[in-house]
């Protein structure tokens, strides 16, 4: 059964008729060509598909597109300014070498933004606990934690 969607994605109006079973990650990747939202596990375990829905981190492989009707969705493509200036969290991940292969990075960055908005000045333990739902197989997390703390500090300025 088709469902009519009307939402805002990365600051732009978006809408479509989608099957009621369409996952948000499928809508973003297949219909809007926002492929920075990765599909890693299809079960919500890895966090590669994390996006912000009304400012909160959500694993888009566990959410139906119809469930976010009317919401504001931000993907990794929507973080940088129009002139290409990176979001402070993206800069921190680059500067702290918080990525290697990059597969987990979009979801990690968006989860980190949600974390520091809810817990400004989060200590290392809080950051590690908050990112437990985002798997990285390359970095060992140390530089990711540094990046989240540096990005959080920059976001507070």
101: domain CATH number?
1.10.150.120
Indicate whether 81 belongs to any domain.
no
Q: In 10 A of CB 18, how many CB atoms?
A: 21
Q: Which two tokens stand for residue 102?
A: 């990059």
The residue segments making up the domain with residue 60 are 2-76
CATH at 68: 3.10.20.30
pLDDT at 139: 82
Domain boundary among 50, 76, 102: 76
The sign of the CA dihedral 46, 129, 136, 102 is positive
Indicate whether 105 belongs to any domain.
yes
Place of tokens 């979009």: 106
- Total domain count for the chain? 2
What's the pTM value of the predicted model, to 2 decimals? 0.95
Q: Which two tokens stand for residue 89?
A: 């969290």
For residue 93, pLDDT over 90 is answered with yes
Confidence label for 151 from pLDDT (cuts 50, 70 and 90): very high
- Calculate mean pLDDT across residues 114-135: 95
Task: For 40-80, write each residue's pLDDT tens digit.
Answer: 988 889 999 999 999 999 999 999 999 999 999 999 999 99
Indicate whether 82 belongs to any domain.
no
- Report d(CA 32, CA 127) in Å as an integer: 31
Strand partners for 18: 3
Q: Does residue 20 share a domain with residue 52?
A: yes
Mean pLDDT (the chain, rounded): 95
pLDDT at 60: 97
Q: Which two tokens stand for residue 86?
A: 């990176």
Residue 27 DSSP symbol = I
Beta-carbon contacts of residue 48 (< 8 Å; ≥ 6 apart):
38, 39, 40, 41, 103, 104, 106, 107, 134, 135
Q: Does residue 113 share a domain with residue 72?
A: no
């Amino acid at each position: 059964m088709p469902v009519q969607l009307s939402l805002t994605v990365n600051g732009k109006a978006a809408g479509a008729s989608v099957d009621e079973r369409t996952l948000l990650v499928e809508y973003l990747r297949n219909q809007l060509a926002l492929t920075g939202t990765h599909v890693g596990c299809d079960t919500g375990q890895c966090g590669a598909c994390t996006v912000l829905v009304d400012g909160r981190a959500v694993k888009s492989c566990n959410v139906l597109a119809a469930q976010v009707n009317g919401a504001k969705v931000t993907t990794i493509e929507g973080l940088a300014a129009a002139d290409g200036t990176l979001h402070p969290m993206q800069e921190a991940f680059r500067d702290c070498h918080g990525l290697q292969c990059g597969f987990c990075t979009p979801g990690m960055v968006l989860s980190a933004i949600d974390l520091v908005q809810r817990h400004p000045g989060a200590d290392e333990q809080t950051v590690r606990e908050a990112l437990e739902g985002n798997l990285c197989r390359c970095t060992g997390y140390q530089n990711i934690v540094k990046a989240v703390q540096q990005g959080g500090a920059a976001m507070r300025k």
